[in-house]
């Protein structure tokens, strides 16, 4: 048997599922040249075809998720207390926890129908404890080329009888826009116990909002690095190197001055900009000062803009 044929059999086994119940561990290791981190989380996952699921983290700070087939509910734990969000299942591009070949090791997947989609190669390395170990190379998203690096093939441990995925392992490198250093992360998913097509209680997919949970509005602001501070970045690839672009920026208040810093990589040339916004004492004008640095030197500009 070749690897791609085995992946198609795995995909068909998951498409034929009626129910699935499992306990699994996620082991995450990450780091760069100066530091490294390791964490392990245990979770439970229940699924009833075609679109009901229940995801339970062992930690109180994890994210609980459930779908009754129409609505997805999530409860977030953590130091700020429990918070709840929900959205119609129809708004999801795919059922949560279903395998996505564009992010083969980045999501917490338990449903592997479509595991063969986007596979450039699949090689059975060996058999171990009743499992086939398969290394798979997936097609990469061209828009993320150079920013997201798959260091090795994604490895799957596939049960020789049931064709269920019992373990996954992959390593991914991320490069922040305009920077050269690579931040590596490795994720392992290990199934500790599994039950296939056994009856599940219907009520385990019902959801009632607990009384101690705060309701959050969807569409609110998320992210940032702290009060009064924020940042982000992006990478834009083009067939013409002259039009490729990388950006990373941040802003913060320094007293009454808003400071905006950015890094731009254009035509493989790096430019840094610091822009300072300050209002005059009477509030009648906004003063803007720029300091721009490039490969051959620096330049400064200043201007005033009447506002009152």
Q: What is the pLDDT of residues 279-302, one digit of tens each?
A: 998 999 999 999 999 999 999 999
Query: Would you state the pLDDT for residue 167?
Result: 97
Confidence (pLDDT) at 304: 93
Which CATH fold topology does 229-306 show?
3.30.1300
**Structure tokens given for 41:** 């989380």
CA-wise closest residue to 151 among 180, 196, 187, 107: 187
Whether the per-residue pLDDT at 193 is higher than 80: the answer is yes
* pLDDT score, position 79: 56
Distances (CA, A) of 146 to 53, 172, 177, 180, 236: 35, 12, 10, 10, 10
Q: How many CA atoms lie within 13 A of 55 on its CB side?
A: 22
Q: For residues 5-31, give the mean pLDDT.
A: 95
Asked if pLDDT for residue 169 goes beyond 90, the answer is: yes
Confidence category of residue 151, pLDDT binned at 50, 70, 90? low
Distance CA 275, CA 258 (A): 8
Query: Is the pLDDT confidence value at 224 over 70?
Result: no
- The backbone region for 138, taken as left when phi is positive above 0, alpha when psi lies in -120 to 50, beta otherwise, is beta
Is residue 80 scored above 70 in pLDDT?
A: no
pLDDT mean over 237-263:
81
What is the topology classification, in CATH, of domain 3-215?
Answer: outer membrane lipoprotein receptor (LolB), chain A (2.50.20)
Per-domain residue ranges for the chain? 3-215, 229-306
The label of the residue with tokens 């992360």 reads 185
Over residues 71-77, mean pLDDT: 91
Q: What is the pLDDT of residues 91-146, one digit of tens each?
A: 888 899 999 988 887 679 999 999 999 999 999 999 999 999 999 998 876 655 55
Q: In a 10 Å sphere around its CB, with 0-12 CB exposed, 13-18 middle and 19+ buried, how is residue 188 labelled?
A: middle
Is 180 buried (19+), middle (13-18) or exposed (0-12) by CB count in 10 A?
exposed
What are the residues facing 16 on neighbouring strands? none
CA dihedral angle for residue 94, residue 217, residue 44, residue 110, rounded to 10 degrees: 10
């Amino acid at each position: 048997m070749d690897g791609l044929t085995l992946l198609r059999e795995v995909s068909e086994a998951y498409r034929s599922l009626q129910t699935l119940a499992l306990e699994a561990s996620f082991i995450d290791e990450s780091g760069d040249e100066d530091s490294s981190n390791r964490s392990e989380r245990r979770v439970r996952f229940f699924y009833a075809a075609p679109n009901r699921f229940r995801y339970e983290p062992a930690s109180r700070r994890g994210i609980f998720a459930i779908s009754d087939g129409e609505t997805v509910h999530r409860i977030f734990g953590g130091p700020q207390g429990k918070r709840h969000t929900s959205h119609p299942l129809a708004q999801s591009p795919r059922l949560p926890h279903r395998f996505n070949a564009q992010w083969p090791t980045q999501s917490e997947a338990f449903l592997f129908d479509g595991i063969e989609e986007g596979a450039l190669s699949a090689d059975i390395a060996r058999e171990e404890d009743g499992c086939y170990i398969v290394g798979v190379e997936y097609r990469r998203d061209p828009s993320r080329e150079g920013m997201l690096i798959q260091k090795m093939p994604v490895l799957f441990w596939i049960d020789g009888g049931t064709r269920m995925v019992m373990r996954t392992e992959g390593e991914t490198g991320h490069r922040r826009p305009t920077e050269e250093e690579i931040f590596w992360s490795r994720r392992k998913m290990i199934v500790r116990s599994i039950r296939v097509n056994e009856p599940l209680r219907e009520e385990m997919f019902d959801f009632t909002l607990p009384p101690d949970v705060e309701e959050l509005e969807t569409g609110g602001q998320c992210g940032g690095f702290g009060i009064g501070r924020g940042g982000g970045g992006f990478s834009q690839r083009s067939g013409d190197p002259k039009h490729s672009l990388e950006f990373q920026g941040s802003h913060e208040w320094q007293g009454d001055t808003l400071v905006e810093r950015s890094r731009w990589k254009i035509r493989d040339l790096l430019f840094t900009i610091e822009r300072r916004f300050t209002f005059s004492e009477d509030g009648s004008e906004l003063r803007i000062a720029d300091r721009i640095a490039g490969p051959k030197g620096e330049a400064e500009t200043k201007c005033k803009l009447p506002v009152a």
